[in-house]
């Protein structure tokens, strides 16, 4: 039997994106804190090697491919959500308890770690993305701090974790996307403009985008230094296509980098949008779904 979200520890008590100063302060006062280094084979064949080379003190390695996604499955896309039971088991083995405050990072500007943060926040757990990742942590270190990063594997003490169903109101499927667009709703494609336009498609068999979707590249939430733009800048960015009364849906190639747009929108003061987890890989797995090309919706 599933357990309801953690109302006693709402995700809203922790912002979706935090900086190193926030993390250092919270580490001294929050005994439940767990830091997670998220890696994926999308960045190379052995992502755990980067973790073992250096990671934040006490960080746990979380495999996007194994812990944050099920096996590819047709219209469910290349990175479907894992079953609630499998997600609970994976995080429990890493020592991430139900009452933990989780801060996640990667070395891709949050492109991978955002998926874990979004998954936890929709379940009601306190979770945030570390702005700037390990680079920001190292840059902030004092000269006399010798243990600011660690090396090698980390063995965690397993924790009990309840099984919680994915909240349907946080998710969208292809039918939801089509209906939302038919009702003049906003759907945001988070991929590179060239992929959106159908000029290139390095991963999926069909190029283009969902007809009617607008394009806001997930990486454009960051400045030239790889840090998140200010909340005001982000608000202006998304306000170009979304009004406060809208209930947008975001997607990408496989439901991973769309989470970065979702968290940026929440950080900017919009509600957390629904994520179409199947995304482009799931949409194009159905040959009856329409496809648009070009730089406009």
Catalytic residues: 252
Question: How many Cβ atoms from other residues are within 10 Å of residue 56's Cβ?
Answer: 23
d(Cα 146, Cα 9) in Å, to the nearest integer? 34
CA distances for 226 relative to 106, 139, 159, 229, angstroms: 12, 13, 34, 9
Place of tokens 């919680």: 164
206, two tokens: 């069909």
Question: How many Cβ atoms from other residues are within 10 Å of residue 21's Cβ?
Answer: 10
Burial bucket for residue 225 (CB in 10 Å: 0-12, 13-18, 19+):
exposed
Pinpoint the alpha helices (H) of the chain.
20-27, 47-53, 64-67, 84-93, 113-122, 133-140, 174-182, 193-197, 231-239, 258-267, 279-283
State the sign of the Cα–Cα–Cα–Cα dihedral 263, 167, 8, 91.
negative
């Amino acid at each position: 039997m599933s357990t309801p979200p953690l109302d006693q520890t709402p995700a809203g008590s922790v912002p979706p994106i935090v900086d190193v100063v926030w993390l250092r302060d919270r580490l001294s006062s929050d005994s439940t804190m767990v830091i997670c280094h998220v890696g994926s084979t999308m960045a190379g064949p052995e992502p755990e090697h980067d973790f073992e080379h250096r990671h934040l003190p006490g960080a746990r390695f979380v495999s996007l491919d194994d812990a944050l996604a099920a096996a590819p499955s047709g219209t469910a896309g290349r990175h479907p959500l894992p079953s609630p039971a499998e997600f609970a088991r994976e995080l429990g083995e890493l020592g991430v308890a139900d009452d933990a405050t989780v801060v996640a990072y990667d070395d891709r500007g949050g492109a991978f770690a955002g998926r874990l943060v979004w998954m936890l926040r929709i379940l009601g757990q306190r979770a945030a993305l570390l702005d700037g990742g390990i680079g920001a942590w190292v840059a902030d270190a004092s000269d006399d701090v010798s243990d600011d990063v660690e090396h090698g594997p980390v063995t965690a003490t397993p924790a009990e974790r309840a099984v919680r169903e994915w909240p349907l109101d946080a998710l969208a499927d292809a039918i939801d996307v089509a209906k939302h667009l038919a009702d003049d709703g906003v759907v945001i494609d988070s991929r590179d403009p060239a992929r959106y336009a159908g000029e290139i498609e390095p991963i999926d068999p069909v190029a283009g985008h969902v007809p009617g979707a607008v394009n806001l590249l997930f990486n454009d939430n960051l400045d030239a230094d790889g840090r998140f733009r200010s909340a005001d800048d982000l608000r202006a960015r998304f306000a170009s296509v979304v009004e406060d009364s809208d209930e947008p849906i975001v997607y990408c190639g496989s439901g991973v980098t769309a989470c970065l747009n979702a968290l940026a929108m929440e950080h900017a003061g919009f509600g957390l949008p629904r994520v179409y987890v199947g995304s482009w890989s799931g949409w194009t797995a159905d040959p009856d779904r329409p496809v648009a090309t070009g730089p406009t919706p």
